Amino acid sequence: MKLVIFNGSPRYKKSNSALLTEQFLKGYNRFCPEPVPVYYLANYKQREAAAEIFKQAETVLLIFPLYTDCMPGIVKEFFENIAGESYSPAKKVGVIVQSGFPESIHAEGLERYLKKLVLRLNCEYLGTMIKGGVEGIQSMPPSMTRKLYGKFQVLGEYFAQNNSFEPGITEKFRKPYRFSRTYIVIFTLLSKTGITNFYWNGQLKKNGAFEKRFARPYLD
Amino acid sequence: MNMKITILNGDMSNGTSDLSIYIGNLARQLKENHSVDVFPLHKMNLHYCSGCWSCWWKTPGQCAKHDEAEPIFRSVINSDFIIFASPLMAGFTSSALKKTTDRLIVLLHPYIKLKNGESHHRKRYDHYPNFGLLLQRELGTDEEDIQIVNTIYDRFALNFHNERKYTRFIEFTNADEIIYEITGNTAIH
Ligand SMILES: Cc1cc2nc3c(=O)[nH]c(=O)nc-3n(C[C@H](O)[C@H](O)[C@H](O)COP(=O)(O)O)c2cc1C
């Protein structure tokens, strides 16, 4: 199984996608020690070369952030470059979509799109993993990311052995699909205290931009 | 009533495609009674969003990239109606259009609100214009493709506090109908 990974985050190597890929590969390499090439679509040269690399791969994993409930523009460009061909023998293609909001409903349309795209390429669809609530992991202490990273390692181990996504974690990651009533009540109460804006306010203050947070610079 | 209309043209050809000709004609007719901005996205100097969050926590509401996007942001947020125009490519609207809609995040505010049990970012501006999709088919476009595109743009609308009013195809809809749907005034003489 010749595996190739495409990282579709516009943040390039400093992305959440890169952090999660690293953990996935830690697990993967326990069973398949051969180094797995990772290509970054945010890099212009690698993006240009990506269609050719895709052509030669046997198994492809694509990981990218959700952008406006869809794939980022650079990932769409990549899709345009690989489309219009029917790949034979069929490649196996799996996708990992991670996002800021915790609920997987945001990626619902995108998931249907990805499935159709892989079929359009005449490839074998390994499914789409959807993991919300990922924004912020870069600044979290290890104690807060240990569980998430552990799961990505298990996913990697499983993928190395089965060439597919581990179903239990895949299902867990999708939760919540939408928020429950209880959560809504709690969130509403908390938002009155301002704590739900904690992450953004912290960053705004750090940059000395808190007072200007409601600016509307593009209004005529 | 004079309306402000923004057309984001996601055509990726050199501007001679059926879609661009259609848009040229549509804009000309609309301009008789309205103010219209047309942006040929693929020919403009527009960078991809790099996810830096400057627009949310360094220079609130303002994008850090120095390219030709600012007139688009201004036009979009001050208009009464937006047309997202694009050929379907690999089953979705073009990367030229997608990269532009990614950048529109600058028009939102980072704070989060819940709507129907879903998180959404709150408004930065009071008013977000509704939009229509104007598409050109590709080889193999089927009903499922169209449903998927509509679902994703309806989700975009949830995020952007607006509504998708329609999806039309240049192969089946003449410009008069599009104008009628935007302005409520028939342009048929
Ligand atoms: C332009 C833009 C649009 C985004 N749209 C969404 C969205 O619609 N839903 C969501 O949950 N997160 C959204 N996010 C958040 C990212 O998906 C999230 O921060 C992700 O973890 C970033 O991963 P990366 O560091 O690998 O790029 C968006 C971020 C940016 C910059």
- Over residues B28-75, the pLDDT tens digits come to 999 999 999 999 999 999 999 999 999 999 999 999 999 999 999 999
B187 has a pLDDT exceeding 70: no
How far is residue A152's CA from residue A26's CA, in Å, rounded to a whole number?
9
How far is residue B122's CA from residue B131's CA, in Å, rounded to a whole number?
19
What value does the mean pLDDT take over residues A139-150?
94
Other Cβ atoms closer than 10 A to B130: 16
pLDDT score recorded for residue A139: 87
How far is residue B35's CA from residue B145's CA, in Å, rounded to a whole number?
33
- For residue B129, the distance in angstroms to the closest alpha carbon of chain A comes to 13
Q: What does the angle CA B163 – CA B164 – CA B165 come to, to the nearest 5 degrees?
A: 105
Contact check, Cβ <8 Å, A109/B124: no
From the number of C-beta atoms within 10 Å of its C-beta (0-12, 13-18, 19+), residue A217 rates as: middle
How far is residue B24's CA from residue B36's CA, in Å, rounded to a whole number?
11
What value does the mean pLDDT take over residues A15-35?
97
Q: For B130-147, what is each residue's pLDDT tens digit?
A: 999 999 999 999 999 999
Torsion angle, alpha carbons of A83, A13, A137, A10, to 10: -40
Gap from CA of B53 to ligand 1 centroid (Å): 10
pLDDT score recorded for residue B153: 98
How far is residue B104's CA from residue A86's CA, in Å, rounded to a whole number?
34
Contact check, Cβ <8 Å, B50/A15: no
In a domain, B188, yes or no: no
CATH number reported for the structural domain that contains residue B114 in this entry: 3.40.50.360
Contact check, Cβ <8 Å, A71/B53: no
In a domain, B34, yes or no: yes
Residue of B nearest to A187 (CA): B114
In a domain, B189, yes or no: no
In a domain, B127, yes or no: yes
pLDDT score recorded for residue A9: 98
Contact check, Cβ <8 Å, A109/B148: yes
Contact check, Cβ <8 Å, A116/B91: yes
In whole numbers, what is the pLDDT of chain B averaged over residues? Answer: 94
Two structure tokens written together for B26: 């549509």
**Which residues of chain A does CATH 3.40.50.360 include?**
3-178
B188 band by pLDDT with thresholds 50, 70 and 90? very low
pLDDT score recorded for residue B9: 98
A179 has a pLDDT exceeding 60: yes
Gap from CA of A114 to ligand 1 centroid (Å): 17
CATH number of A3-178: 3.40.50.360
**Cβ contacts (< 8 Å) between B112 and chain A: which residues?**
101, 196-197
Q: How far is CA B119 from CA A34, A175, B22, in A?
A: 41, 14, 38
Closest Cα to atom 2 of ligand 1: A67
Domain that holds residue B59: 4-183
What value does the mean pLDDT take over residues A142-169?
97
B189 has a pLDDT exceeding 60: no
How far is residue B41's CA from residue B97's CA, in Å, rounded to a whole number?
7
* Max CA separation in chain A (angstroms): 59
How far is residue B131's CA from residue B162's CA, in Å, rounded to a whole number?
8
In a domain, B13, yes or no: yes
Domain count, chain B: 1
pLDDT score recorded for residue B29: 95
Q: For B84-100, what is each residue's pLDDT tens digit?
A: 999 999 999 999 999 99
Pocket test for ligand 1, best of A99, A105, A179 (most atoms within 8 A of CB): A99
Does residue A176 have a cis bond before it (omega within 30 degrees)?
Answer: yes
How far is residue B70's CA from residue A12's CA, in Å, rounded to a whole number?
24
Gap from CA of A196 to ligand 1 centroid (Å): 18
According to DSSP, the residues that pair with B36 across neighbouring strands are: B5
How far is residue A28's CA from residue A4's CA, in Å, rounded to a whole number?
12
**Cβ contacts (< 8 Å) between A65 and chain B: which residues?**
51
